[in-house]
Amino acid sequence: MGWTVLIILVGAVLFAITIYNRLVAGRNRFKNAFAQIDVQLTRRHDLIPNLVETAKGYIKHERETLEAVINARNTAVTGLKAAAADPSNPEAMKKLAEAEQGLSGALGRLFALSEAYPDLKANQNMMQLSEELTTTENKVAFARQAYNDSVMDYNTLRESFPNNFFAGWFAFRPAELLEIEDQAKREVPKVSF
């Protein structure tokens, strides 16, 4: 009888350790995936001052647009730092998403404005920076998808029975998806013949 109880107890402890370790691994995977977003967003944020400096020479009287881009960039950098400090903080992730949406909107206005200035549009630096920014935006999208996949796996793991008991006991909080809305992608393209 004593051996049976001991075996059951050891089995229960090993089961609990396995669940705990799986929860830790899931949390580490989504934090690592966020680190990849951090790298790409930092690159994006570093490109923007160069883009603004290039545009300054051509669109001097459009100062408020340039200032809006810089302000949006600074807000996004602050949001990224807060989210990178704790990717499991849902409020920080929401603020980052909002800041990145604001930055995308400001950049969209800058690029729309640059269309009115053929010399700026044809400038080699502007074209190169625009290309690098587009490439970085694509990398951000891929990194965000990988992060969201990791968050979904982690949240599923922590909400599944019996993992949910251990997640609650050991304070494994749910992770927040990073959803950056791009209104341009949601618009239906207009076709005319």
The runs of H, that is alpha helices, within the chain are 2-56, 63-85, 90-114, 118-122, 124-159, 163-169, 183-186
Distance between CA 140 and CA 101 in Å, rounded?
13
Instruction: Scan for tokens 């239906």, then name that residue.
Output: 188
The predicted-structure confidence for 38-94, as pLDDT tens digits, reads as follows 999 999 999 999 888 888 877 777 788 888 999 999 999 999 999 999 888 889 999
Closest by Cα among 106, 75, 47, 90 to 176: 90
Distance between CA 189 and CA 193 in Å, rounded?
13
Residue 149 pLDDT grade (very low, low, confident, very high; cuts 50, 70, 90): very high
Instruction: Report the CATH superfamily, name and number, of domain 2-176.
Output: LemA-like domain (1.20.1440.20)
Domain positions in the chain: 2-176
Distance between CA 61 and CA 73 in Å, rounded?
20
- Six token digits for residue 46: 């570093």
Q: What share of the chain is helix, strand, coil (3-state, %, to 5)?
A: 80, 0, 20
Please tell me the pTM assigned to this model. Answer: 0.78
One-letter identity of residue 78:
T
Asked if 63 and 93 count as a contact pair (C-beta separation under 8 A), the reply is: no
The predicted-structure confidence for 90-111, as pLDDT tens digits, reads as follows 899 999 999 999 999 999 888 8
